[in-house]
């Protein structure tokens, strides 16, 4: 049962006068009214029956403090009972005690969902807009990597654990030993990794077939473990080590930081105002997530907060045709460097004339016509244009043999968007773009801050949902810190 109780009416509340007026939590309390949380979570409580529940506003504030100061449940309870400013921020009297630490995880998992945290984040930003603290029209977007709270395992080891779990569940539920099971192969002794995977797959399939062929009916846990093993084996990414890498955290995936660096865990995408450095939207996916897939929804959410977006700053991972087109449709100016993986043209050798739609090489030879082409490959259909240089010019060129080879003339093969990207690349070489793009640096500092001081470098739990909640709570905590700074 949710019951509203009066706050800070004790005689000892006079002690709160000792808190400096410029303290961060006191500044936040002056600007943000968190009472909306009670109404937001009211439907998750019974109105008329049961014991009086702890106030949702206070419980949410406890979670904010945990992520603001990077405190565990145990440390939060211990330090919170002794910290005067914590008690003030929570709306308690100095002699009151914080709820037991066991309630924190229950509240976090049962009462607070992803959508709830999104609404809390958005409402705090909306109140800042109403107070005039946010006036920026530019936003920066970037992705940060979060390490999983477990180690990644090779497929052989996972298949070994799956087989062991099936056998264990069968024996517990039937009360009998599974007769005739083959010995577990020593996969570590097999030098060929592909052979080791094949051996362990055969072993797991043998265990599944043996349990299924036993005359006795299996219990629910045995059937569930068999079904999970089949689903994992049927995933083509599994044996290629791009699928499940842990049975503790099945959502975590291997991702790339760069061509030479990989990580195992999750990606969190963050949108932030460039001037005030206030986080407006957060989305979390597994490590294989492609940067920018949530950009449209994050920008729309930011607009709904009353922020007029006219500029977007991002790194080269966001330089994709569909993103650029979406920003153009929303009448937003993109400040995104060209991606060399997408825009592949050696500008030291070729220049483009947009009006004549022709390319020119360094020796002054120009293209005379072009043809559209499509090719099929393992990555799908590729289309673009072939630009043909004038034959007489090419034959007379001293670099003909080096440039055109055995062909009579040079043929320049380009992607269908290369000419459009060329114009963008030319603008990005100007001092105006370089100076403007410096505004993006603020999000790098913000990401470094939340990873170093708020614990976002590593997941605190298992599964995408828990990591997503962690990311959103961290964003709220980081915003509270910024609100205090903006007010000061």
**CATH superfamily of domain region 138-148+254-337+435-479:** Ribonuclease H-like superfamily/Ribonuclease H (3.30.420.10)
Average pLDDT (295-306) is 96
Average pLDDT (227-251) is 93
For 70, the 3-state DSSP assignment is coil
What does the buried/exposed string (b/e) look like for 368-394 if buried means 16 or more CB atoms within 10 Å of the residue's CB? eebeeeeeeeeeeeeebbebbbbeebb
Looking at per-residue pLDDT, the higher value among 359 and 257 belongs to 359
Looking at per-residue pLDDT, the higher value among 311 and 258 belongs to 311
Alpha-carbon span 224 to 170, nearest angstrom: 11
Side-chain half-sphere CA neighbours of 7 within 13 A = 13
Alpha-carbon span 354 to 357, nearest angstrom: 5
Alpha-carbon span 136 to 414, nearest angstrom: 39
Supply the pTM of this predicted model. 0.89
Alpha-carbon span 309 to 306, nearest angstrom: 9
- Interval 130-185: pLDDT, tens: 999 999 999 999 999 999 999 999 999 999 999 999 999 998 888 888 888 889 99
- The two structure tokens encoding residue 307: 């922020």
- pLDDT at residue number 218: 62
- pLDDT at residue number 278: 97
Could you say which DSSP state residue 113 is in?
Answer: -
- Interval 83-92: pLDDT, tens: 999 999 998 8
Alpha-carbon span 352 to 363, nearest angstrom: 14
Name the pLDDT band for 215 (thresholds 50, 70, 90). Answer: low
For 271, the 3-state DSSP assignment is strand
- pLDDT of 485 > 50? The answer is yes
- pLDDT of 2 > 80? The answer is no
- pLDDT at residue number 375: 85
Quote the percentage of the chain above a pLDDT of 70: 95
Looking at per-residue pLDDT, the higher value among 15 and 464 belongs to 464
Looking at per-residue pLDDT, the higher value among 487 and 4 belongs to 487
Q: What is the pLDDT of the chain when averaged over all its residues?
A: 90
Rg (CA), the chain: 30
Alpha-carbon span 421 to 438, nearest angstrom: 21
Q: Could you give the residue range(s) of every CATH 3.30.420.10 domain in the chain?
A: 138-148+254-337+435-479
Residue 75 backbone phi and psi in degrees, to 5:
-70, -35
Quote the percentage of the chain above a pLDDT of 90: 68
Q: What is the DSSP annotation of 200-255?
A: HHHHHHHHHHHHHHSSSPP-HHHHHHHHHHHHHHH-HHHHTTSS---SS-SS-EEE
């Amino acid at each position: 049962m949710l019951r509203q109780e009066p706050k800070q009416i004790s005689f000892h509340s006079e002690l709160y006068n000792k808190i400096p007026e410029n303290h961060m939590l006191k500044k936040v309390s002056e600007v943000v009214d968190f009472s909306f949380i009670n109404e937001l979570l009211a439907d998750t409580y019974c109105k008329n029956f049961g014991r009086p529940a702890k106030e949702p506003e206070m419980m949410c504030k406890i979670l904010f403090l945990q992520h603001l100061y990077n405190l565990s449940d145990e440390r939060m309870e211990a330090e919170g009972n002794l910290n005067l400013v914590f008690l003030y921020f929570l709306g308690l009297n100095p002699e009151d005690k914080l709820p037991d630490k066991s309630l924190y995880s229950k509240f976090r998992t049962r009462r607070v969902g992803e959508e709830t945290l999104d609404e809390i984040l958005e409402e705090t930003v909306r109140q800042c807009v109403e107070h005039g603290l946010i006036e920026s029209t530019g936003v920066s977007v970037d992705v940060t990597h979060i390490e999983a709270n477990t180690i990644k395992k090779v497929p052989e080891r996972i298949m070994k654990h799956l087989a062991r779990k099936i056998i264990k569940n069968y024996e517990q539920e039937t009360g009998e030993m599974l007769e005739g099971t083959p010995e577990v192969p020593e996969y570590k002794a097999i030098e060929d990794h592909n052979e080791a995977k094949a051996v362990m797959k055969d072993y797991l399939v043998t265990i599944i077939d043996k349990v299924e062929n036993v005359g006795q009916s299996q219990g629910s846990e045995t059937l569930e473990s068999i079904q999970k093993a089949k689903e994992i084996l049927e995933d083509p990414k599994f044996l290629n080590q791009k699928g499940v890498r842990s049975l503790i955290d099945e959502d975590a995936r291997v991702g790339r930081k760069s061509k030479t660096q990989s990580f195992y865990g999750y990606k969190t995408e963050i949108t932030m105002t460039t001037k005030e450095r206030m986080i407006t939207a957060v989305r979390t996916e597994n490590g294989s997530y492609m940067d920018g897939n949530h950009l449209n929804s994050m920008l729309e959410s930011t607009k709904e907060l009353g922020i007029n977006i006219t500029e977007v700053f991002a790194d080269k991972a966001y330089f994709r045709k569909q993103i650029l087109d979406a920003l153009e449709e929303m009448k937003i100016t993109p400040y995104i460097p060209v991606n060399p993986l997408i825009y592949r043209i050696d500008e030291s050798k070729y220049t483009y004339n947009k009006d004549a739609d022709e390319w020119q090489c360094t020796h002054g030879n120009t293209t005379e016509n072009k043809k559209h082409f499509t090719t099929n490959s393992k990555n799908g259909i590729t289309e673009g244009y072939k630009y043909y240089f004038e034959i007489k010019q090419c034959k007379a060129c001293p670099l003909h043999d080096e440039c055109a080879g055995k062909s009579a003339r040079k043929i320049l093969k380009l992607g269908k968007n290369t000419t459009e990207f060329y114009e963008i690349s030319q603008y990005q070489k100007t001092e105006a773009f370089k100076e403007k793009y410096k505004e993006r640096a603020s999000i790098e500092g913000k990401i470094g801050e939340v990873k170093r001081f708020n614990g976002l470098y590593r997941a605190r739990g298992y599964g995408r949902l828990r990591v997503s909640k962690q990311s959103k709570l961290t964003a709220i905590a980081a915003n509270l810190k910024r609100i205090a700074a903006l007010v000061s």
